[in-house]
Each structure stands twice: as structure tokens, then as C-alpha cells.
Amino acid sequence: MYFKQIIREDLGCAAYLVGSTDEGVLAVVDPRVDMVDEILSLAGSKGMRITHIVETHNHADHVSGHGRLMEETGATVHIHPDARVDYPHKPLHDGTRIELGEVVLQALHTPGHRPEHVALAVADTSRSEEPWLVLTGDSLFIGDVARPDLAVPGEEGARLLYDSLFGKLLSLPDGVEMYPAHVAGSLCGRVTNHKTSSTIGYERRHNEALEPRSPDEFVTYMTSSLPQRPPNMSAIVEANRQGTRRETNEVPALSPEEFSRLSSQGHLVLDARSPQQFGEGHVPGAINVHIDGGQFGTRVGFVVPPGAEILLLIETAAKLGQVRDALSVVGYDAVAGYLDGGMDAWQSSGLETASLPQIDVRALSERLGRPQPPTVLDVREQSEWHSGHIEHAIHIPFHQLQARMDEVPRTAVAVICGGGQRSSIAASLLRRDGREDVQNVQGGMTAWKREDYPTTSR
């Protein structure tokens, strides 16, 4: 058996190559669009042909690479009929076997995350007919299970997931290795553990979601504290259902004047530089999401409307490919251009430049002691807020800010998060809304607590 796991940490995605070296054939499971070149290179280096592509379900958080892989290799795509896809495929029913020489992949229909979801039990029959490992897709994760609310109401999905987990996956032997389609960083579950594999037995004993519960208790557990869904998820599912190959378009370099003209016509300026660089000077109205700040695609999905015409502001032209590909993975292909020469060119042209003051926690503490202190806007998640926050702060997670903008006073505001990345996103949204007196707190609550400044959990 040949087996290879490919990880993309930005969205917590995992894909798999599994096949027979004796027969020289491979199946690819859950390929992401930006993994295709790596997958083709790996297969070529092993002298193996890709003959099958398996989608465990229609993914909602990333664009799949099955379209390009199918064109490049002629491989057959397999997916469950309930996916209702529009591209050529073979239906993958419960019990369907894909034979790759001595290696056999057997489909286990495991609805819950989505109605079409399947897991794959993998056996090397030269050793045993028993499964050696199971690719659990988005049903069972490391230390968690899949969210049940992406395709059907959460309660309905949770009941289906209960049967899939306790009636099917946990019937596998304890020693079976398990490999999920998502690891830490994914919004398809509440995964925080950075390990990328486990065993059925270990998860049975130590996964809180798998503790013995009645179906009703499981539904309550699963529908509590679910992560927010980015608005672009539905568009990604539809793109994957249609299965059309997505081309990587060239992104033209734009002069400051052309960039400014398109911005004034409604194109959205996405500034992918660091919060510090954004603070020093940016195009008015830009939204700041740092390409190297973690979870770039997820964060863009929360604050950039699906289908938006995007203008990019990047540190250097060398960053263009990285940013373009990261946007394409989450379904943003309408990139109209990037600012040639960056902010240096913009400022040299004499066009208006905005800024965002950056303050450290010591300065914030000092200002909070003044007669007219700024409002502290904490944009972290609910669990982070409850772990300790600044007295009298307002709590609005950054991904809810655009819908709750009226809750923020139009007076001085200091925006804080865990370390300064999400707060810069939120601060840029406030500036885009016309707020003038906005500051971003560098180091965030991590630095605040390190300095032993007071917090409350009330």
C-alpha cells in the first residue's frame, strides 16, 4: 500500500493519496484546488497513475481540485448520489468497493455533516481483509466530530451524525487508524488539536463528542456553540457541485490612478499586508486581512461579500501568487488587479492616504485611566471573551461587526483581539464605515494578560 497525507494549515484541510505500488495505481481523496500540482508531482515521482478521485462530500470551505485532476489524468470521480453533482461521476453507495490491486477502499455512508457524506475504510488485502485505516472525511475529527448544520437544520443533521458515528464508524476495531479531511483551523468542526491522525480506539476513549449519550443529549451537545459560518460557504458548495474547472486568471498590475478609479466605482480594496503596514498608510476604505496572519481564506470569507470585485494591495508583487491562490481556494476569482508599486506608488501619486494608529497595551491601560476613556471593542470569539476580558469592553466577534456596526459608539474606539490580527480587520471595517477615532491594539489580550493588567470574566 502507498499512503500519503497532504495538509494545508490555513483552512485545516487534508487530502489523501492511497493505492498500490505493485499495480502502480492511485486514488486521490478530497483534493483541494491548490493541491493539484503537488498531487501530480507525487504520483509522477512514484511512477503511479491516478485512476480514481473520491469526494467524501461537497465541501463548503474550499474549492475542490477534482475538475482539473479529472482533466489531467482521465481519472473517474466517485461521490454519493445525494450530492446531486452536475459533472461526470460514478455513484458511491454504502458498501461500494474501489479496488486498486491489493488495496481496497470501501464506502461507508455516514450522513450528518452533509446528506451525501461517506467515509472510506481502507484495507491492504495482502495482509488482511480487515480495514487498516479509515478516511473519515468530515464525520469524525481528532478530538471532535463534524458540525451538523451546513446542509440541513442542525438538529436533523445531528441525529443523522449520531447514527453514523455510533452505528457505523465506532463499530470499526479500536486499532484502525483514522485520518480526517480537516484538522485544526477548520470551520467544519470545533477542532483545536493539531495532531493529524488518531485511532478509532483512542477517539472512542478520549473524544468528548463520543462520550455515551442519548440521541437527544447528543443533539443538544452538537447544536451548542457552533462556529459562525462564512457567507461564502453556499457559493463554494455550489461551485463544487457544478464541478467546472476553475482557471487561475492573470491579475493585472494597475497604476494608482486606475486603481483609484475602480475603487471609486465599487470595487473592494483588500489590503493583505501586515497590520503595522496597514496602520502606517493604506488606500481609504480598504479592508485589512493579513495574508500571513493565519486563517486568511476563512477571514476573507467573513468580511468580503461573495462575488465581490476585488482590488489587491500587497507588500510586493512577489506576494501576488500566494494571495491570488489563497482567494481562489475560497471561491474569490474576481480579482480585477493589484496596485503596481504598492503604497509607495500610491503616495507618490498624491492620492489620499488613510492611516490607522497602532497602540500597545501600556498606552491602552494609561488611556483607560483618563476622564474620557476610549471604548474597548473586543472582537474575539465567545470562548476567548469568557476566559477574561477588559472591564466595560464591548464584545462583538469580528465576523459579526458589519451586521452590528450600530452597537459601536461613534466616539474613540480601541479594538482588541488575541494578538492584533483580527482587531486590524475590525478596525479597518470601522474606518471603512467612516469612523475617525479608531486604534488597533498591538499584541491584543495576550500582551494585556502578560503585563498582568486586570481582567474580568463577567
pLDDT tens across 54-69, in order? Answer: 999 999 999 999 999 9
Q: Give me the pLDDT at residue 246, please.
A: 61
Q: What is the mean pLDDT of the chain?
A: 94
Whether residues 341 and 389 fall in one domain: no
pLDDT of the residue at 51: 98
pLDDT tops 80 at residue 346: yes
Domain final residue pick, 298, 313, 348: 348
Q: Is 127 exposed, middle or buried (0-12, 13-18, 19+ CB in 10 A)?
A: exposed
The whole-number pLDDT of residue 297 equals 93
pLDDT at residue 186, rounded to an integer = 61
What pLDDT score does 426 carry? 98
Q: What is the pLDDT of residue 249?
A: 74
Does one domain contain both 175 and 319?
no
CA 390 to each of CA 356, 366, 416, 420, 453: distance values in angstroms, whole numbers, following the listed order: 22, 13, 10, 15, 9
Q: Which domain does 159 fall in, by range? A: 2-241
Q: Has residue 72 got a pLDDT over 80?
A: yes
Average pLDDT value for residue range 157-171: 96
The residue-averaged pLDDT of 289-309 equals: 94
Highest mean pLDDT among 90-104, 221-235, 236-250: 90-104
CATH number for 327:
3.40.250.10
233 and 104 in a single domain? The answer is yes
What Cα–Cα distance (Å) separates residue 52 from each residue in 77, 99, 242?
A: 6, 10, 19
Count the domains in the chain.
3
274 and 395 fall within a common domain? no
Tell whether the model's pLDDT for residue 187 goes beyond 80.
no
pLDDT in tens, 387-444: 999 999 999 999 999 999 999 999 999 999 999 999 999 999 999 999 999 999 999 9
- 74 and 162 housed in the same domain: yes
Task: Tell whether 91 is covered by a domain.
Answer: yes
Residue 353 lies in a domain: no
Asked whether the predicted pLDDT for residue 239 surpasses 80, the reply is yes
- H-type alpha helices, 286-381: 296-303, 320-329, 342-348, 361-368
Instruction: Note the pLDDT of residue 307.
Output: 87
Cell 449519550 found at: 213
Same domain, 228 and 282: no
pLDDT at position 188 over 80: no
Is the model's pTM score more than 0.85?
A: yes
Q: Specify if 37 maps to a domain.
A: yes
Domain final residue, candidates 314, 348, 382 = 348
206 and 264 share one domain: no
Residues 265 and 305 in one domain: yes
Question: Given a cut of 80, is residue 334 above it in pLDDT?
Answer: yes
197 and 306 part of one domain: no
- pLDDT reading at 192 higher than 70: no
Is 70 exceeded by the pLDDT of residue 244? no
Considering the domain boundaries, does residue 412 fall inside one?
Answer: yes
Greater pLDDT, 227 or 188: 227
C-alpha distances in Å from residue 192, one per residue of 107, 143, 259, 356, 423: 27, 8, 40, 32, 21
- Is 192 in the same domain as 325? no
Could you report the per-residue pLDDT of 21-46, keeping only the tens digit for each?
999 999 999 999 999 999 999 999 99
Residues 133 and 16 in one domain: yes
User: Residue 383 phi/psi, 5° resolution?
Assistant: -65, -35
Does the residue 246 lie in any domain?
no
